[in-house]
Structure 1
Amino acid sequence: MLKLDLPNSDIVYYPNLWSLKEANVLLQKLENNIQWQQDYITLFGKTHLQPRLTAWYGDRGKIYSYSGITMYPHDWIRPLLTIKETIEPIAKVNFNSVLLNFYRNGQDSMGWHSDNEKELGKKPIIASVSFGGERQFLLKPRDKNVTTRGEILLNHGSLLIMAGNTQKYWLHQIPKTTKFVSSRINLTFRVIVTP
């Protein structure tokens, strides 16, 4: 376990929560059984396809909206429940939803953002699970006068928990890379606090 030393944050990283064998099995099950989609997203007045595939699973009625997209949950499937049951005792949270991102190659990415939508409450706890190719996870403060930065290489079979004021004070991203990287699936487990 590694705790990141960044001000106004509560970020803990577990680099090898699953064994290589366990992680490989879960990756394959997710690739084959998740109902992946590619939505159009509107950013800064321009609409384009998201540079990754996504899916939203969770309890009935746990709807999630971001950047002009509204997602209605698919019912939980066994691989997701297996992962959920593993991380909940560590995070000390009962998650009711999960956003999945499928990065097919190094050109699939996620821009700077924070998970601060009103559905997530004031101090959301986000449990981010990674399977597949290792990708850089970058953090930068919202306050442009603060020069501190954070960086983690997200391993196959890892868990990253962001809690406390992290989403209030920090932005994060998965940048594009020109290096060869195998496909990666990321799951961000959340608690939707509004109906």
Structure 2
Amino acid sequence: MNFELFEPELNDNILPCDGVVKDFGLILNVEQSEKYLQYFLKQLNWQNDEVYLHGQYFKTDRKVVWYGDEHFKYYYSGTLKQAQVWDAGLFRLKQHIEKLVGHPFNSCLANLYENGTQGVGWHSDNEEALSPKTGEETVIASLSFGATRKFSFKHKLKNHKVDLMLQSGQLIVMRGTTQRDWKHTLMKSTQILEPRINLTFRYFYPPKN
């Protein structure tokens, strides 16, 4: 587990334009974060992710699991995902984050990166189920546990890039037009040997009839 000299400070928007990413800083202390990390490593039903990229099928090294209010089915990265009913610890965190953010969430995509060789490439979370109406904002709350990792944003049209070092217990919230105008990535590093868990709380809208 990494311990940083300086804790991240609250920042209402780390982006220079066209979107909002609020950094809440550390919402859990060191002891709480470590307990949650060990609990989620053991208790969540981790599986390798399956995605379609440019028409090709891939099974990723990183592991994922979906949880939600019901056994929802979601399309994500070209494949149909089945949500599991909430884990008790995960549900308590959801309720806590909803109070902090002031927005409801009905699902969570949990990601496990077992070491720094595992990351995720540049992408936007812009699935229709996250924002079915034109102009409606997508709100995603992202909570980190474990190893400190570099998380970056780059604008799709302008020459803007923003880097964050996300620590264990740190919460950021992406909203507004962030998914429309920006891409984000988790950078890889061979120097990082510890695991990282990322919980992304989302609100999925029911499919259109």
Same fold (TM over 0.5): yes
Match of 1:70, SS? strand
- Distance in 1, Cα, partners of 2:86 & 2:50: 24
Deviates more, 1:7-16 or 1:127-136: 7-16
Secondary structure of residue in 2 paired with 1:93? coil
Does the alignment pair 1:130 with 2:140? no
1:171 aligns with 2:183: yes
From 12, 16, 41, the counterpart of 1:6: 16
Contact 1:134 1:181 in 2 (8 A): no
Counterpart of 2:163 in 1: which secondary structure?
strand
Distance 1:64 1:136 in 2: 28
Consecutive unaligned residues in structure 2, runs of 5 or more: 1-9
SS at 1:38 equivalent: strand
With the length of structure 2 as denominator, give the TM-score of the two structures: 0.88
Contact map agreement 1:51 1:110 (CA 8 A) in 2? no
Q: Distance in 1 between matches of 2:184 and 2:118?
A: 15
Q: What residue number does 2:169 align with?
A: 157
Amino acid at match of 2:49: D
Amino acid at match of 2:146: G
In 2, are the aligned partners of 1:16 and 1:156 still within 8 Å (CA)? yes
Q: Which runs of 4+ in 1 moved over 3 A?
A: none
Task: Tell me the residue number matched to 1:141.
Answer: 155
Distance 1:139 1:180 in 2: 21
* Bigger mean CA deviation after superposition, 38-47 or 92-101: 38-47
Q: Secondary structure at the match of 2:26?
A: coil
- Pairs aligned (count): 193
Contact 1:54 1:101 in 2 (8 A): yes
Cα deviation 1:94-121 (Å, max 9, x = unaligned): 1100000000011111111111100001
SS at structure 1 position matched to 2:205 = coil
Q: How does 1:1-195 map to 2 (within 5 A)?
A: 1-2=10-11, 3-121=13-131, 122-143=136-157, 146-195=158-207
Instruction: Provide the rounded CA distance (Å) in 1 between the counterparts of 2:150 and 2:83.
Output: 28
**Residue segments in structure 1 that go unaligned for 5+ positions in a row:** none
Q: CA RMSD in A?
A: 1.2
Q: Distance in 2 between matches of 1:65 and 1:5?
A: 28
3-state SS in 2 of match to 1:95:
coil
SS in 1 for 2:95: helix
Amino acid at match of 2:36: L
Cα distance in 2 for partners of 1:8, 1:192 equals 23
Shift of residue 39 of structure 1? 3.0
| Amino acid in the other structure paired with 1:6 | P
CA distance in 2, matches of 1:180, 1:60: 36
Query: 1:123 is matched by which residue type in structure 2?
Result: E
